[in-house]
């Protein structure tokens, strides 16, 4: 059994339902069911979480199928990597559709209000409506975690990279958990929880930085890296993390799971 046949089983059970779910969300956006002012940020956060959580059923399906049908570990892991790319592209396509819908909805997001000059003696300010660009909508509402760059292509590539990192991080976590004993699962879960807390708190842990910018985010890196070097550093950090996550997941999968002991 080759990797494509394992991938076919994954696609049938999990990827097609995921595609249908995001297609339904995009359809609801088109008919105006969602309010974009709050939905966009929530959509981005949930999508990154989905990329991490969906790694578990993908892993379980691939490894179960390969065990019963005789596929090698390498082939089943290749199928998982193909599934990861498919899942990430589906999520990215949904966000791309969202950004187009928002760009075309001129009622609110086509304009912003800029202040002209200094405040008047009575304390009031003069305002002017300024046409928005696709980049502004993309950075401020759809992919606001990548607002440090003006390059749309770079933003989309890095968004895909972040989703890949979320998927393979989830894959490594669930694979390790399936091969640990009860105590090992508790320790591993605690370590992951600590890492999540550190990332969420971010710069709040450092007295010289203000705010709660998550670690590895543009808001955090921009404070410790010169702006002209931020893009290559961003790529290097996330690229290294993906390599570590993939290697960890694969090496964990190669280990035999711990069998529970029966007590009489």
Q: How confident is the model at residue 113 (pLDDT cuts 50, 70, 90)?
A: low
Q: Which residues contact 177 (CB under 8 A, 6 or more apart)?
A: 185, 188, 189
Q: Burial code of 149-170, b = ≥16 C-beta within 10 A, e = fewer?
A: beebeebbebbbbbbbbbbbbb
Q: How confident is the model at residue 207 (pLDDT cuts 50, 70, 90)?
A: very low
Mean pLDDT within 214-242? 77
C-alpha of 68 from chain center: 32
Mean pLDDT within 193-212? 62
Q: How confident is the model at residue 142 (pLDDT cuts 50, 70, 90)?
A: confident
Question: What pLDDT is stored for residue 192 in this prediction?
Answer: 80
CB-based contact 112:136 (threshold 8 Å) = yes
Q: Residue ranges of the alpha helices (H) in 144-181?
A: 152-178
Question: What pLDDT is stored for residue 103 in this prediction?
Answer: 73
Would the pLDDT of 55 be above 80?
A: yes
Beta bridge partners of 116: 126
Q: How confident is the model at residue 88 (pLDDT cuts 50, 70, 90)?
A: very high
Would the pLDDT of 33 be above 90?
A: no
Question: What pLDDT is stored for residue 182 in this prediction?
Answer: 79
Question: What pLDDT is stored for residue 203 in this prediction?
Answer: 53
Beta bridge partners of 114: 128
Mean pLDDT within 116-127? 58
Mean pLDDT within 90-118? 68
Would the pLDDT of 128 be above 70?
A: no
- Measure the CA–CA gap between 138 and 14, rounded to whole angstroms: 29
Question: What pLDDT is stored for residue 109 in this prediction?
Answer: 41
Question: What pLDDT is stored for residue 200 in this prediction?
Answer: 66
Would the pLDDT of 82 be above 70?
A: yes
Q: Which residues contact 64 (CB under 8 A, 6 or more apart)?
A: none
Question: What pLDDT is stored for residue 146 in this prediction?
Answer: 74
Mean pLDDT within 148-168? 85
Mean pLDDT within 105-134? 56
Pairing of strands 111-116, 126-131: antiparallel
């Amino acid at each position: 059994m080759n990797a494509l046949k394992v991938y076919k089983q994954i696609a049938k059970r999990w990827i097609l339902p995921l595609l249908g779910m995001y297609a339904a969300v995009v359809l609801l956006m088109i008919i105006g069911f969602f309010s974009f002012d709050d939905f966009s940020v929530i959509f981005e956060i949930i999508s990154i979480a989905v990329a991490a959580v969906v790694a578990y059923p993908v892993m379980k399906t691939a490894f179960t199928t390969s065990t019963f049908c005789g596929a090698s570990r390498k082939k089943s892991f290749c199928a998982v990597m193909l599934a990861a790319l498919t899942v990430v592209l589906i999520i990215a396509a949904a966000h791309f559709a969202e950004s187009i819908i928002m760009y075309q909805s001129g009622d609110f997001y086509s304009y912003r209000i800029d202040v002209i000059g200094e405040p008047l003696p009575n304390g009031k300010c003069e305002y002017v409506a300024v046409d928005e660009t696709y980049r502004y909508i993309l950075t401020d509402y759809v992919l606001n975690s990548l607002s440090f760059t003006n390059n749309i292509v770079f933003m989309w590539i890095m968004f895909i990279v972040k989703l890949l990192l979320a998927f393979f991080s989830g894959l490594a976590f669930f694979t390790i958990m399936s091969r640990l004993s009860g105590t090992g699962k508790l320790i591993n879960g605690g370590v992951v929880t600590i890492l999540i807390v550190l990332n969420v708190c971010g710069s709040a842990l450092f007295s010289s930085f203000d705010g709660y910018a998550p670690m590895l985010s543009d808001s955090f890196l921009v404070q410790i890296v010169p702006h002209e070097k931020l893009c290559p550093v961003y790529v290097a950090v996330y690229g290294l993390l993906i390599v570590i996550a993939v290697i960890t997941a694969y090496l964990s999968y190669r280990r035999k799971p711990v069998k529970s002991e029966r007590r009489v």
